[in-house]
Amino acid sequence: MNRRKKSNQILKARAKKANLKLAGNSKSKYISKVDREILVIESTEDTNSVSETLS
């Protein structure tokens, strides 16, 4: 690999890393099974309390 090609490759890699940092996360944060169950339970409790107050 000649010097010009190698330097271009390094610059492209740096630019790619910089763009990835600026783009931010498109991947959502992992939520464990236990946390998901807790959220489901809390949401059902909220809907039950709302339906009781409306009755």
Question: For residue 24, what is the DSSP state?
Answer: -
What ranges do the domains of the chain cover?
3-54
Which pLDDT belongs to residue 34? 95
The CA distance from 11 to 3, in Å, is 12
Which pLDDT belongs to residue 38? 94
Which pLDDT belongs to residue 27? 76
Which pLDDT belongs to residue 31? 92
Predicted structure pTM score: 0.43
Model pLDDT for residues 15-50, shown as the tens digit of each residue = 999 998 888 777 788 999 999 999 999 988 877 776
Which pLDDT belongs to residue 52? 65
